[in-house]
Structure 1
């Protein structure tokens, strides 16, 4: 079995979050979804567990951050092309997300940020395969 990642995100509206992530092309795994949580499937290795804010709080003794006010993590998700980055952003914006900052084009890498309706920041990026192999031009 390969390593999998499960990212836990708090939400104020579970149904809204499920609809948002489905609009981005994800699936919801019904086996791990109930009134408190939804398992958002990105791939065979990457999953988001979107948890109601109250349920999320049962997994930590720390205060649960409001992602509209505080950044705890920025999640970068690769796409296969610049066009796919733009398509993902268009779908996310149409589903209630916002774009908090302009696109970043570094030549070898192109990225755009998308905030989900709860304020969680997702960075969708495409990196030129040559840069993946050789590293960014300014780091060599």
Structure 2
């Protein structure tokens, strides 16, 4: 199966995007950054390619590139090691200018979301490893 994931997202201002994500503690792989794109490192094998809108458009010339400030086409969901890590990361996003999203509290699973400066939806979530192993429904049934 797959070994890596690259999510491509259109952005308006690469410098602003770099500042936003660096303020959250993320880094960039400068080997794949230029005036058209930034390679945002999200994990060992997870990269978000932040592409200038006109560069993004070249990948889908027959389609309209939506404005994520007014439309939604995806939610990027990333796992966290703990509930505290969820809060820490989303709080950093908020301090850097993100817009607040939803909070989900299910006991065995906790998540918070935000919208970055370009309007892309991001969710940071934690799930109890025991629930992840057996599945949420079975975990809840065992706890009852």
Corresponding residue SS for 2:66: coil
Aligned partner of 1:23 in structure 2 is: 23
Segments of 5+ residues of structure 2 without an aligned counterpart are: none
What does residue 37 of structure 1 align with? 37
Tell me the residue number matched to 2:49.
49
Q: Which runs of 4+ in 1 moved over 2 A?
A: 137-140
Q: Which runs of 5+ in 1 are unaligned?
A: none
**Deviation (angstroms), 1:21:** 1.4
Aligned to 1:127: 127
State the distance in 1 between where 2:5 and 2:118 align: 21
- Compute the TM-score of the two structures, normalised by the length of structure 2: 0.91
Q: How many residues align?
A: 138
Task: Look at both structures and tell me which one has the larger radius of gyration over its CA atoms.
Answer: 2
CA drift of 1:100 comes to 2.4
What TM-score do the two structures reach when normalised by structure 1? Answer: 0.93
Q: Indicate the RMSD between aligned Cα atoms, in angstroms.
A: 1.4
